[in-house]
Amino acid sequence: MLYLDTAPAGNEAVRGKDMQKTIFVVDDNGTNLSMAEDALEDEFRVITLSSAEKMFSILEKVVPDLILLDIEMPEMDGFEALKRLKTSDAYSKIPVIFMTATADASNEAGGKELGVSDFITKPFSGPVLLERINKHLTT
């Protein structure tokens, strides 16, 4: 296991084979990070990150094939992170799936307006998460 910590107390980890597609999972909740990693680690190289700030730091070293991004996080929320991603020439084409604990029409409208690829409601099931990711990696 290779750790890409950018903060001493972080638990960001990279697992998997180099030939696998890379998925960033960005969520401030450790349980959600673990659930996503467990569901994805057999098929993808998974990088778990506890904040959007850490995601942008790691993006300087690793560009993922897809990002799972929590909407509600302290400091920088998913909307602000998505805005930054979509206005960057280097990152604007990366598919982003918003993870949300609430089915909210305003979140969906706002995300679509900013260019989010899809939404998944937490808690999610592993098979549904894999299906959503694979849908966006093949288009």
Instruction: List strand residue ranges (DSSP E) for 31-79, in order.
Output: 45-49, 66-70
Strand partners, 83: none
Q: pTM for the whole thing?
A: 0.84
Cis peptide before 123, with omega less than 30 degrees from 0? yes
CATH superfamily of 2-137: Response regulator (3.40.50.2300)
Domain boundaries, the chain: 2-137
Distance CA 44, CA 18 (A): 9
Distance CA 73, CA 126 (A): 22
> In 3-state terms, what secondary structure has residue 101?
coil
Can you give the pLDDT at residue 83?
A: 96
The pLDDT profile of the chain, 139 residues, written as one tens digit per residue, is 333 443 334 444 554 445 689 999 999 999 999 999 999 999 999 999 999 999 999 999 999 999 999 999 999 999 999 999 999 999 999 999 999 887 777 777 777 888 899 999 988 899 999 999 999 997 6
Which 8-state DSSP code applies to residue 120?
E
Can you give the pLDDT at residue 110?
A: 75
